[in-house]
């Protein structure tokens, strides 16, 4: 006799990739990914419950002055970085190696506003003679995913605001470790809420985010033109994802 068993409801299904995720975040001397430098970095691994199972932090001597405005955000001064930080080439090489190992294992790396962190790392690698990660994959960007599945929600989409919206704790914001872990837990929260509507495979999710990010940049460009923040003849915002 064969016993009947109910099929699980799609609402309670979460994507396979949530079993283990990598997390990545940088704090820097500024927001220019080509010319600014890495100050601190975090690469870690979370399990399905959002618990940290592996992690590493770096403090770099960026080789340039850290502007007071940047220090006010992440708390690292030029004097501290010079006294306690490792040489930037070593830090960049080790971060690239750590991320490469995650990608090689097929583990998705979560990065909030991924093009900033991966582009910054690429230009730092080129600056210091390290082979860069040209096409990071698979990547999950909670910013892009949230904008896609809750497009019309009002308010800012900073990590702290979005984390609060999904009840994800974020202590010590603008520290690479805290931001990276919060972004990873946010990705898990998004998967729990929107999993049944997400692409079925990790590769497809990565590919879809490329299109979603491009569309979001185009929409924001149109809005900026409408409110006069961007000239109609100016180039639209760069929607390349996850690296520029």
pLDDT one-digit tens code per residue, 168-208: 999 888 899 999 999 999 999 999 999 999 999 999 999 99
Check whether the bond before 87 is cis (ω within 30° of 0). no
Helix (H, G, I), strand (E, B) or coil at 144: helix
pLDDT at 36: 98
Rounded to an integer, what distance in angstroms lies between the CA atom of residue 200 and that of residue 192? 14
Asked if 25 and 164 touch (Cβ cutoff 8 Å), the reply is no
Rounded to an integer, what distance in angstroms lies between the CA atom of residue 64 and that of residue 182? 29
pLDDT at 142: 98
Q: Within a 10 A sphere around the Cβ of 74, how many other Cβ atoms?
A: 20
Q: How many residues does the chain have?
A: 244
Asked if 108 and 22 touch (Cβ cutoff 8 Å), the reply is yes
Sign for the CA dihedral angle at 123, 126, 130, 136 comes to positive
Asked if 111 and 183 touch (Cβ cutoff 8 Å), the reply is yes
Q: Among candidates 99, 159, 105, which has minimal Cα distance to 135?
A: 99
pTM of the model: 0.93
pLDDT in tens, the chain (244 residues): 444 544 445 555 789 999 999 999 999 999 999 999 999 999 999 999 999 999 999 999 999 999 999 999 999 999 999 999 999 999 999 999 999 999 999 999 999 999 999 999 999 999 999 999 999 999 999 999 999 999 999 999 999 999 999 999 998 888 999 999 999 999 999 999 999 999 999 999 999 999 999 999 999 999 899 899 999 888 999 999 999 9
Sheet holding 38-47, edge to edge: 86-87, 52-61, 38-47, 20-28, 109-110, 139-140
Q: Helical H runs in the chain? A: 68-74, 78-84, 88-104, 114-127, 142-149, 159-165, 176-194, 202-226
pLDDT at 12: 53
The helix or strand, by DSSP H or E, that contains position 25, with its residue range, turns out to be strand 20-28
């Amino acid at each position: 006799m064969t016993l009947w068993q109910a099929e699980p409801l799609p609402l309670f299904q979460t994507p396979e990739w949530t079993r283990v995720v990598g997390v990545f975040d940088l704090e820097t001397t500024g927001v220019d990914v080509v010319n600014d430098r890495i100050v601190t970095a975090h690469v870690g691994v979370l399990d399905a419950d959002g618990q940290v199972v592996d992690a590493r932090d770096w403090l770099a001597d960026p080789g340039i002055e850290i502007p007071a405005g940047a220090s006010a955000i992440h708390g690292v001064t030029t004097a501290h970085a010079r006294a306690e930080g490792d040489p930037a080439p070593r830090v960049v090489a080790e971060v690239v190696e750590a991320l490469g190992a995650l990608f090689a294992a097929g583990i998705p790396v979560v990065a909030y506003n991924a093009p900033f962190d991966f582009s910054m790392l690429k230009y730092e690698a080129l600056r210091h003679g390290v082979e860069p990660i040209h096409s990071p994959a698979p990547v999950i960007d909670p910013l892009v995913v949230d904008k896609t599945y809750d497009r019309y929600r009002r308010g800012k989409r900073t990590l702290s605001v979005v984390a609060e919206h999904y009840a994800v704790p974020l202590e010590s914001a603008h520290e690479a470790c805290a931001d990276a872990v919060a972004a990873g837990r946010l990705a898990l929260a998004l998967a729990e809420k929107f999993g049944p509507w997400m692409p079925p495979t990790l590769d497809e999710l990565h590919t879809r985010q490329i299109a979603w990010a491009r569309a979001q940049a185009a929409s924001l460009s149109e809005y900026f033109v409408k409110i006069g923040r961007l000239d109609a003849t100016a180039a639209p915002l760069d929607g390349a994802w996850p690296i520029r």
